[in-house]
Chain A
Amino acid sequence: MTDEYKPPALPSPFSNTSPAPVLLTQGAEAHVYKTVSLDPSIPAALKIRPSKPYRHPILDRRLTRQRIIQEARCMVKLVREGVSVPAVLSMDWEGQGGENGGWGGAWLLMEWIDGPVVRIVLEQWEAWMKKNSASLDQSQLEQEEERVRGLLRRVGHALGGLHKAGVVHGDLTTSNLMLRSPSTSSDPGPTGVSMEGEVVLIDFGLASQTAQDEDRAVDLYVLERAMGSTHPRSEPLFEALMQGYRESYKGATSALKRLADVRLRGRKRSMLG
């Protein structure tokens, strides 16, 4: 079986799109393509949630519809609140060909964000540091760590803005944080890894609207754990992220207090007693 993987056929209207959308990533729930927006000169990201043939068709439509609408509602709210996330350009949750049969999927056309994800930035930085830190003097080392702290503080600010707006992300990892490439780039220093650019939050597939400390703390906890496993060298700098978060909105302090509890017991709340 060496057949090349073929993603499912694109639903209307994207079967018309020329040039055809290019598949970028695939998750358990959705495929993400690069295509153009409603202006042919501006790129866009297209997220398609195909229907799942193993589910009952009516249940399948309902779940797909609920999830894509929840995702879009969170993003639209954040755009309104001025939090940097990709804007929703257009969407469709109704599928095609009526209630029975037809295509029960849904799609979301979003603003394209040009730039690397934070995971890649930190990986490149850590790889460079691993190879070269021995040849750096103390002040150069501190300077490099300060750059990462600066980035993490900006991430903290972005997360504070997100939570302040009444949304939690639900799946925070460094892969769901992007750095929008600035129009003019400055010197990336000896490592060649730029940390410039506005922090943009992406993938709201598991996001929800809530203003509870518990949900906010779990959001931060998930990111903290993800950082610990994917970026061991940057993890000690996580404190900078919390500092940025603390500075960004009024409710931050109580969310961070809750984070201390969550750390002791893990993401899942005990339902005992």
Chain B
Amino acid sequence: MAQLETIDIPHLPLSLPVHVALYRNVENAELLKQELLAGNSEFEYALIDASMVLSRAHAITAIFRAVNDYMNDRLKSRNVHSEIVFSFSSTNNIADSFRKFGIADSTKDLLVVKVSVTPEITHDSVAAHLEASIKGTPVPFDDETLSQISDVAKIKKFYKLGALPDPKATGQANGTHADDAKRRLELSLLGAIALRGS
């Protein structure tokens, strides 16, 4: 069963619903990447290496930035889906952001995002296509699941936030400190995404 969530992102028009699914133990990343690179429009998704995603808010912030840029006709990459991958980045280097946040042949944990840019793309059509295309275990797109997937050290390194306290390290000493550290890291990521290109 595909767990495709259509998320309500405030401020975006109802005419542009956003569908998100999270998978673990993905076995056919190589094929998905090939379809994407070949420009097969059926496989036009934002395919994100979920180990680079800290939280739901992190992902939604990147999605929001990309869709807002799409609505204002100022995409820096090919389409709104590649732009979502790019929007995770804090730098203007598109190729680098694809390498860091995009699907790789070895990707096991995958975040899939699809924006209904035409009325034909619906929750059901996306759910059916994903079910047929992705060999992996659907899991809920929530902070608890993402906390098991995300590679905090890798995320901190990419965003150059190595000086921040580590949510996992402080967690052993004190539970509340771990929450504070994670919150601070998350808010720092949101700021970095918002400021890209400034």
Contacts and interface: CB of A to CB of B under 8 A. Distances in A.
Interface of A: 12-14, 16-17, 35-40, 69, 72-73, 75-76, 79-80, 82, 87-94, 96, 111
A76 B12 CA distance: 24
Contact of A96 (B64, B72, B194): B72
Contacts, number: 82
A200 to B, nearest CB: 13
A36 B194 contact: no
A88 B190 contact: yes
A80 B192 CA distance: 10
B11 A76 contact: no
A90 B187 contact: no
A76 B195 contact: yes
B10 A82 contact: no
B194 A72 contact: yes
23 contacts: A12-B71, A13-B13, A35-B10, A35-B11, A36-B10, A38-B10, A38-B60, A40-B8, A69-B198, A72-B191, A72-B194, A72-B195, A72-B198, A80-B191, A88-B191, A88-B194, A90-B61, A90-B190, A90-B193, A91-B194, A92-B72, A93-B198, A94-B74
Contacts of B3: none
B24 interface: no
Nearest to A92: B68
B187 A111 contact: yes
A37 B194 CA distance: 14
B57 interface: yes
A245 B195 CA distance: 30
A45 to B, nearest CB: 14
Contacts of B192: 76
A110 B34 CA distance: 39
B72 A90 contact: no
Nearest to B67: A13
A12 B198 contact: no
Nearest to B190: A89
A199 to B, nearest CB: 16
Q: What 8 A-B pairs are tightest by C-beta distance, nearest first?
A: A76-B191, A87-B187, A13-B11, A69-B198, A16-B13, A88-B191, A91-B194, A36-B10
Contacts of A13: 11-13, 68, 71
Interface in B1-23: 8-14
B168 interface: no
A96 B163 CA distance: 37
A69 B195 contact: yes
Contacts of B68: 13, 90, 92
A73 B198 contact: yes
B150 interface: no
B195 A88 contact: yes
B184 interface: yes
Contact of A87 (B9, B14, B72, B191): B191
Given A36-B10, A79-B188, A80-B161, 14 more contacts: A13-B12, A13-B68, A35-B10, A38-B10, A40-B10, A72-B191, A72-B194, A72-B198, A75-B191, A80-B184, A80-B191, A82-B184, A87-B187, A89-B194
A76 B60 CA distance: 18
Contacts of B65: 90
B187 A79 contact: yes
Contacts of B164: 80
Contacts of A79: 184, 187-188, 191
B56 to A, nearest CB: 8
A258 to B, nearest CB: 28
Among A37, A40, A80, chain B packs the most CB atoms within 10 A around the CB of A80
A165 B9 CA distance: 33
Interface in B62-99: 64-65, 68, 71-72, 74
Contact of B11 (A14, A73, A93): A14
A20 B10 CA distance: 11
A249 B9 CA distance: 41
Contacts of A87: 187, 190-191
Contacts of B56: 39
Contacts of A93: 198
Contacts of A12: 71-72
A263 B156 CA distance: 44
A33 to B, nearest CB: 12
A38 B191 contact: no
